[in-house]
Chain A
Amino acid sequence: MGVVCVYAFPVPEGKSGQQVVDSLQKQVELLGAVKTGNFSVDCETYQANTQAGTLTTTPQRLIHVLHNSEQPASCFSVLDTGTTLIADVLFDVLIHKLTSGKAGKEAFYQQRKGSKMESKGPRYELSDFIIKIGSVSMASNFKGILVEVEYSPCSVPTECWNLMRELMQSFMGNVAETPPTLVKNKMDNFYLPGDTINQYLEHFTNFRKQTVMGQPIR
């Protein structure tokens, strides 16, 4: 796989998310990109089940379980400590076992209510680039826009950043001025699918925080 950059694209005041998505799509199509279907990245968060008195026995960990349609046979699990596990998609069955109580017994982890987030939208190809324009939703509420650009022939960010920037700036402007933090931290290393997932998770967490800040403090 290549190098992937994911950016949050701001929605200016007075415009709806859909309008911005439409104009981005139009610009990408003008560049000559061909639509090759749809994509989705989803994230579900689980936390330790505190009702069962697990405070002393199981650590207070958050487990984020993500899927990426670009890697349809994999399931990504990221802990709040940063540990990333990549597993077969059947790992979901194990998560299901961890989170469902059976025969009157309590589960170890439980789903965080309203935590499900998803970025989905059209997927474009422009020769060696893959461009995805995703609308982010949390519990079916629109949260923002994430644009993902992948340059597939190269796995080391330093080697292709300038090329990527040129393409990205042609339709995103200043949003793509510098590489995303995660990519910046490993410019000379091999880029891996787990890195893409962590970029998405970071954006999802930010969107979630914005929502919490918007609400009155309880």
Chain B
Amino acid sequence: MYMDQLNQAVKGGIAPFHEYLLQGSIVDSSKDVLVHRLRGLCDNADSNPEAFHDHEMIFSLKGSPQQQPMTVYLRHSLIQTDCWHLRYVGSTEFGDKTRQTLVRSCVDIGVSDSIVKFLNEIGFKLEYEFVAKGYFFHKGRMKVTVSKLFKMNIQGDVNNIDPLTLSCLVELSVVVPTGQEQVGEDMKNFAEQLKPLVQLEKVDHRRQQQAAT
């Protein structure tokens, strides 16, 4: 019964959702100015920005060469330690110049704390992990995060950490059902308002990976 409903949802484009994404970065010394600007631009301007402190683990299932490897992103809040969030991201559609943002399908799932054990037992292996600290803003359905990434010196130890760079990662994203291209336009307009502090762009991860290897 549930599977039928689900298949319908998948066919109807309700699930999985699509994430529209823009990324950029800002040096630590200017971060406070950006946070101040975002507070003014986003909803709930009168309250303090919402802070987060997460431990992210990336797990992969790799089989034989005949199998497509599968990767999932697990986030564990270190503030609300009951919160575990699992995310699957589909392949990225970079699109052409007319498309304003990067688009990818995504599945967001709240899970119980047995998730790490579960993933390990069905064959997933931990690829890498990091700690992210930062602030979260929203304006309507747009979500903005300013996060500082830390590398972990010892596997699994979230207290023994060092900053990865001297900058912060800035992400602007919206998650919607299929076929709402208007979103990209809204995001581009919002990104314009953050210039010249931060330049939010669609980043081609594949090209970056190729450049790195």
Contacts and interface: CB of A to CB of B under 8 A. Distances in A.
B92 to A, nearest CB: 16
Interface size class for chain A? 35 or more
Interface in B89-119: 107-112, 114-115, 117-118
Interface string A61-95: 10100010000000101010101111111111110
Contacts of A194: 112
A218 interface: no
Contacts of A106: 63-64, 66-67
A173 interface: no
B115 to A, nearest CB: 6
Nearest to B64: A53
Nearest to A68: B2
A97 interface: yes
A108 B66 contact: no
Contacts of A81: 121
B66 A105 contact: yes
A52 B70 contact: no
Given A85-B118, A93-B16, A42 B1 contact: yes
Contacts of A79: 118, 121-122
**Among the interface residues B70, B109, B117, which one has the most CB atoms of the partner chain A within 10 A?**
B109
Nearest to A116: B3
**Among the interface residues B10, B62, B66, B108, which one has the most CB atoms of the partner chain A within 10 A?**
B66
B114 A85 contact: yes
A153 B180 CA distance: 46
B63 A67 contact: no
A61 B109 contact: no
Contacts of A127: none
A24 interface: no
Contacts of B88: 93-94, 97
B67 A105 contact: yes
B111 A61 contact: no
A194 B114 CA distance: 12
B118 A98 contact: no
B61 interface: yes
A58 B68 contact: no
B122 A63 contact: yes
A187 interface: no
B148 to A, nearest CB: 29
A105 B68 contact: yes
Contact of A83 (B86, B118, B123): B118
Interface in B9-25: 10, 15-16
Contacts of B122: 58-59, 61, 63, 79, 98, 109
Which are the 4 A-B pairs with shortest beta-carbon distances? A58-B123, A105-B68, A86-B112, A85-B118
